[in-house]
Structures are given as structure tokens and as C-alpha cells.
Structure 1
Amino acid sequence: MIKKIGAWIKRHPIWSAIIGLVTVFIAYNILKPAQPEYEYLTDTVVKGDIVRNVSASGKLRALNTINVGAEVSGQITKVYVDYNSPVTKGQVLAVIDPTRVGAQVNQGEAQVALAQAGLQQAQANAEKARSDLALQQRNFARRKALADKGFLSKADLDLAETQLIAARNAVQVTQTQINSSRAQIRQAGAQLSSSRLDLNRTNIVAPASGVIINKLVEPGTTVAASFQTPNLFEIAADITKMQVEASVDEADIGQVKEGQNVTFTVDSYPDDIFKAKVRQVRQAPVESQNVVSYLVIIDVDNLEGKLLPGMTANIEIITGSKSNVTRVPSPALRFRPRAADRETQDNGGEKKPDKQKRQALVYVATNDPYKPKARIVTIGVEGDEYTEVISGLKPGEKVLTRTKSLKPKTEAEADADTGEDDSAS
């Protein structure tokens, strides 16, 4: 049989070569290893810096904002300032029509004058009453002397005594009138002072130096101060120092402490990173749609004047940091290879870390890319991108971070794809 095949090959060398190539091709496709559909991506363990942040957002506010209101009612006749106007303490910002209050001042002055005239009349009456009293005292003394010698009847002496008592009572009445007139003067004076104070208050003045950041009135506006003081202007006393009022989620508030450093950006200057510091963590909870947060006050220097009240700040509160430590990408602590590639319990695989000892499980690359080695490591500071490894890994080792698909993409997937088709198991 073999001789016949050999003879045929000699007679048909071309066909023999074709048949041989086809046979080799078929055998190769049957025996070649299957192309894997995925691969594991790794990252190298290195030394570097780790920063742990708490992200939040908040609004910029002036450190000291003053609401300027009106204590009297009336119509605004003049407004001397506008938005962004710098003002100094005592500067007149607006004027309320003083006509009504001026009339009250005139009425108060008239009341004071009337009370003073009443006092002068009471004093004149008192002087006359004292003169009458002196006269009655002399008259009674003479009549009593005559009555003692028997030259005057008892009835005439009683009449003189009655007149003396009446004169004394008249003096007391006039003194009471004087006291009443003086009280009326004080009352009218108090009312006059109040009216003059209201007249002064028709000039709305700045209580402190700063910048007008809000104006709520225009000439012709009527303000009513009957029940509460209406706000007319808002002054930022010093915009070189501002604060951010940030809402921090209850899950993160335990990491935030006074004095921690903060970095933030605002939409107006996306390339600028501003530095700040936590001044206060308020303990009063703020609940919105069943989400509890806490207000954190952050001090900001605004010497360049770029920041404006009301801007939204995207905040990163630095709650922990370390320099030049062994670190791994944080996703490596959460990544798990496919079940078929993991070590089994028989050969020591699938170890369970002790979270109380701050242990975590990572998978280290080996010579076989589909047989990674599970390893327990002790971790330290946990950041968003990297986590400190205290023990269990050395710089230079490679850890698995994610899975990459090697399946050929369909035309539709290729058109819709915007990057690598990566997925973690």
C-alpha cells in the first residue's frame, strides 16, 4: 500500500504537493489552540503620593454680608448707588420722602413749645399762690393776736385760719401743675426726638464700607416698615475674604475636620485651582428628598477678586495624604478575575481578607496571563485613584485591574464605540 502511494506521488508531484498543503492546513486548524476572547490588564506597583478627598459642591458667599433696610415707611425719592458700587461707612445710599416725617417733627416742636408755655404759666400761678400764702399768714397772725386780747371774735379768727389753709392748698396745687407741665415737656421732647430720628432715617446710609451686591429699590418705590424692616440693599463688607457653604453627604462628613486643606474650581475659571481651608463643620442636619447632608464652612482668600458671590464651587476636601509610599490603583482592590481563572481552595486560592485588620485581596500577574495569583495585602490610606499598601506587595510587581474583550467588533459596534471595550468581572 505504501509502495503504491509512493509511486502515485512520483507520477503526480504537483497534485501530491497540493494535497499535502491542504492536509497540513486542515490539521493546523484542528489542532491549533483556541484564541482567547479576553485578556487581563495590569498596572505596576510603584511608590508615590496618595491623596484622599471628599467631593462636594457649594456656593460662594461674602464673609460678611449686610442687609440694609428702612425703618420708616414712605416713597423712595432718590437712589445714589447701583450694583457693584463701592460705598463707605455713613454714605447715603437712598432717600425716602421726608415730607410726612418732617410734619411730625414740626408738630413735635409745637407740642414742646406748648408744654413749655404751660410750665411758665404754672410757675406764675405758683408765685402768685406763694404771695397769697404769705399774705394770709400775716393776716392770720394779726387776727390771732387781736383774738388773744379779746378784740376779735372767734368766728373772725376761724375765717382767717380757713383762708390760710386755702392759700397753702393753692401752693400745693400750683406745684403739682408745675410737675405736670415738666412731665408734658419731657413727653413732648421724647416724641420730638423720635420724630427727628425718623427724619434722619429717611436717609438710608451704609452701616459699613463694602460693595453693593444687590439693589432692591428704584426711585418711586414705596416701602412699608409697619411689620418688618424691608431690605433695600445688600452690601458685601469685604470681598477679599469669602466663604464657601458646602453640603457634604452624611457618609463622608465623619472624615471632615476643621483646619483641613481644600481645593476647588469654579465654572468661570475651569483651569484655575483655588485653595481654601475648612473653618467649621455645622452639626445641624439638612434633609432634602430623604438625603441628609451637613453644612461645611470653608474660608477662601479672594485677593485677586476673581471669585464672586453666588458662584458654584466644585470642592475637594483633603482628608488624608501620604508621600512616597507603596501604592496600587484602587480598582485592583475591587477587581476579581473570571471564576475559571481563579485559584481554588485546594491550592490556597480565594483567600478571604480580614477587614478589621485593614486587609484586602488583589490578584498578581504570573508567567501565565490567565493564572493570576491571589494575595492578601494590608492597606493604609485609601484615595480615589490609589491606595497605600503597607505589606503584601513590592514595587515592580504587576496587579490585575480590569478585563479587556478581544472579540472582533461588528460594524455597528465599531461605529458606536468611543473607546476600548473594557469590562471588569
Structure 2
Amino acid sequence: MSADTPRTAGHSPRKRGLWLGVAIAVAVIGVVIFHLLNRPAQHKGMPAQVVSVATAKLGDMPEIINSLGTVTPVATVTVLPQLSGYLTEVGYQEGQDVKKGQFLAQIDPRQYQISKQQAEAQLAKDQATLDQARTDLARYTQLYQKKSIAQQTYMDQKFLVEQSEAAVKADRANIAQFDLDLAYCHITAPVDGRVGLRLVDPGNYVTPSSSTGIVVITTMKPTTVQFTVPQNSLGKVLDRINGGAKLPVTLYNSDNSKQLATGTLYAISNQMATSTGTVTLRASFPNDDEKLYPNEFVNVQLLVDTLHNAVLVPTPAVQTGAPGDYVFLVNADDTASVHKVTLGPSNGQYTAILSGLSAGQTVVTDGTDRLSDGAKIRVAQAHPAAAGSAGTPASASSAGAAHGQGRRKHHASADGGTTSSAS
């Protein structure tokens, strides 16, 4: 027992020193961790987004309805024979322009000439019978006045004269019918226009029941174009028409690369198409240069009205998302804020703002896909929005339609900002 006591006494101070070092180390580590956890957070500010901006200005904006139309001739006539017979002559060339009354074809008239001669002979016979009956009636009248013949004899002769007169009238009607048949043998153009490809040749036997006819004549000028407008746009068109306005219509080719003609709206259908919710309109065009070809498809632009002194912004500035239609308004502190607006008509390049924005305010036109409400911005370059008038480019659209090219749809994100996707 006495031998172990010094060893135990020697190890005890060493053990206490070890535990003391461990405690000090733990305390130091704890202090470091505490300072690391409780030091002020160093926030890195988001860099300013580089954007392009434009200033809203006043100008004129045409309100245009776009539609797809079909060139519809004023008259398309299939010339049918009115009687049967062999064709002896065809007097037109394919694709030829003809005038009303111009000779087209001839049906062999001989059988109708013979029938007319027979009717004339019958007329001569009945006329002679009538003359004889009238002479007898004059003699019977004198005898009846002298009481020399019975009243019945006198009345019978009077009726005989009336029968002969009726027979003469029937003969003259037959002759008139054969005259008409002879006129039908000589086929002429019923309207001005252009004939199509030849459908018959000399020697063909034609009948009134022939569906193909002798030829098809189409009026080339003037011509019309039929197109449809949605029912929501019809009200304003009717208001303008009822007010006495003549609405101009402009036509472009199928890819909107070339203007073809200008004309005027002159007719509106009396019924709405229930399957499509549209109504058919027709516009008239002089077509002196014959650029409009029957049944051709064209792009139609109907100018309904023009907004004067409207607030105009470049169409890319207009956004659509959860708030509705809006723009990013540039603030004095170099931030952009979401600003709701009410859209008017657009011509593709510019969009009219009916409410929510004033002339002179600045909006973001490029870089909106990286913005959120209140984001810092840095202007790259400013572009004026308009200089007096928006004009009438070929890609015009009506109010309520798509409000331009390059617009983006924004959706609320988790951090309170917005994200965007190209539309």
C-alpha cells in the first residue's frame, strides 16, 4: 500500500492538467463557433439589369380588322342552251374578253325556221276564216235587224267570229315563239366578262339539260372580295356604316408581302354564321389592272377607325401575365415596377394604351424577361416610341387581338418577382 501511494500522487496533477487543456480547447472552439454564427450577414446586392427603354408618346393609331378573303366576281354565268340542236359554229376563243351581246355560238336553226313557216301558214288560213266569218256576221246583222232570220242564227255567227279571232291570236303567238327559238339559236354573251376554256365544239348536240353549258363567263372588273369578321368586332363596323362612313379595305397577297388593291366596304350579310361566330362582308374593287383573280385567296385589312392622340408604346414593352396586361415602368430611382394598363389596337410595331399610362413616361422594351417588380435596372439605350403617327403597316391587327410581336408572358415566382416565357 505504501509503495503505490507516490505513483498515484504523481499521476494526479498530470491528469488534471490534461483535462484542463481539453476544457480550454473546447471553450475556444465554442467561442469561434459563436462568433461565426452570430456575425452580421454580408448580403451581396443583385447587380442592376441592363435594359432598353422607350418613352411613351402621343400619335395616331389605326384600328384595323385582319381577315382572310376570297375574290368573288360580280357575275359568274354559265351560258346554257335554251333549246336542243347541233352546234354549227363557236364564235369565241378561250380566255377572250367579251361584251354583253357578243356572238358566242350558233345552233342549227333550220328546224325552227320550218316550224315558223308552218305557223305562218296556219295563221293565213285562220285569218281567212276570220275574214269570212266577219263578212257573214255583217250580213246576218242586217237580216236580224229586219227580223228575216232567227236570233239563234245571228248569235251563232257572232260566236264563230270570236272563235276565229282566238285562233288567229294563237297562230301569232306560235310565230312569236318560233321567232324566240330562232333568237335562242344565236347564242350571245349575257354579261361583260372573260370566257373560260372551251366546253363544246361545232358538231356537238346540245340540250337545255346540259350542266356544262356552252361556256362560262366571269366578270373581271369590277370585282368584289368576301371576308368574315368576328361577332365582337361587328358592332363598331355597323356603327361606322350606319353613320354614313365608307370604310376603306386594303388587300395583300397570301404572304402579306405585296399590296394588291384598295377598295370600299359596301355590303354586310344579314345573318351570323352560328358555327364560327362570324359575319360575312363584301368589299368592291375597280380591278382595272386585273390583279385580283376570281377565287383567289387574299389578306384583307378593314380600317374601322383611327385613334387620334393615343398613348403609344413599342409593342415589345407590353407584357401579359398574372396581373393581366402590364408594362415595366422605369422609376426615378433606377428601378422598374409592374404597371397595369388597358390595351387598345396595335399595328404590330406599336400598341395604343387606353388607360394606365401617360405620354412622357418611360417603359422597358427589352430585357423584361430578367426583371421583377422593384428590380434595379441600368439603361443601355433609349429609343423614342413614336413621332406623331403609328402609320398603317401591313401586319396591322384589331383591338382585342394579339397585341404585337415579341411580347412575353410573366408569372409570379417564389421570391415575389416574375419569370417570363416567350409567347
Moved more, 55-64 or 259-268: 259-268
Q: Which residue of 2 aligns with 1:291?
A: 276
RMSD of Structure 2 on Structure 1 (CA): 4.2
Q: Which residue of 2 aligns with 1:274?
A: 261
Number of residues of Structure 1 aligned to a counterpart in Structure 2: 326
Give the counterpart letter for 2:289 in structure 1: E
User: Does the CA-based 8 Å contact 2:134-2:161 persist in structure 1?
Assistant: yes
Q: Which residue of 1 aligns with 2:169?
A: 186
Give the counterpart letter for 2:271 in structure 1: A
CA distance in 2, matches of 1:206, 1:128: 56
Moved more, 75-84 or 41-50: 41-50
User: Does the CA-based 8 Å contact 2:71-2:293 persist in structure 1?
Assistant: yes
Q: Which residue of 2 aligns with 1:201?
A: 184
Q: Does 1:397 align with 2:362?
A: yes
The CA deviation at 1:275 is: 2.0
Secondary structure of the structure 2 residue equivalent to 1:285: strand
Give the counterpart letter for 1:293 in structure 2: T
Matches within 5 A, 1:1-400: 42-47=52-57, 48-66=59-77, 68-123=79-134, 126=137, 133=143, 164-165=148-149, 169-208=152-191, 210-214=192-196, 217-219=199-201, 220-225=203-208, 232-236=214-218, 239-256=220-237, 257-258=240-241, 259-267=246-254, 270-287=257-274, 290-322=275-307, 325-336=310-321, 361-365=326-330, 372-377=336-341, 381-389=345-353, 392-395=357-360, 397-399=362-364
The CA deviation at 1:185 is: 1.0
The CA deviation at 1:394 is: 4.2
User: Does the CA-based 8 Å contact 1:53-1:384 persist in structure 2?
Assistant: no
Give the counterpart letter for 1:218 in structure 2: V
Moved more, 63-72 or 246-255: 63-72
CA distance in 2, matches of 1:98, 1:377: 78
CA distance in 2, matches of 1:252, 1:400: 29
CA distance in 1, matches of 2:318, 2:225: 34
User: Does the CA-based 8 Å contact 2:328-2:339 persist in structure 1?
Assistant: yes
CA distance in 2, matches of 1:328, 1:319: 21
126 and 278 in structure 1: CA distance in 2 versus 1, 3 angstrom threshold: closer
| 1:197-221 Cα distance to aligned partner (Å, 9 max, x none) | 121121112234x222446741244
User: Does the CA-based 8 Å contact 2:56-2:358 persist in structure 1?
Assistant: no
Unpaired runs of 5+ residues, structure 2, are 1-41, 371-405, 411-419
Secondary structure of the structure 1 residue equivalent to 2:62: strand
Give the counterpart letter for 1:296 in structure 2: L
310 and 297 in structure 1: CA distance in 2 versus 1, 3 angstrom threshold: same
CA distance in 2, matches of 1:39, 1:101: 93
CA distance in 2, matches of 1:232, 1:39: 74
Identity of aligned residues (%): 22
CA distance in 2, matches of 1:366, 1:61: 54
CA distance in 2, matches of 1:268, 1:188: 65
CA distance in 2, matches of 1:72, 1:40: 82
CA distance in 1, matches of 2:235, 2:198: 41
CA distance in 1, matches of 2:367, 2:94: 55
270 and 394 in structure 1: CA distance in 2 versus 1, 3 angstrom threshold: closer
314 and 250 in structure 1: CA distance in 2 versus 1, 3 angstrom threshold: same
Query: TM-score normalized by structure 2?
Result: 0.63
The CA deviation at 1:402 is: 6.3
Secondary structure of the structure 2 residue equivalent to 1:291: coil
231 and 402 in structure 1: CA distance in 2 versus 1, 3 angstrom threshold: farther
Give the counterpart letter for 2:327 in structure 1: V
CA distance in 2, matches of 1:40, 1:246: 45
| 1:323-361 Cα distance to aligned partner (Å, 9 max, x none) | 564312345443459xxxxxxxxxxxxxx68xxxxxx53
82 and 373 in structure 1: CA distance in 2 versus 1, 3 angstrom threshold: same
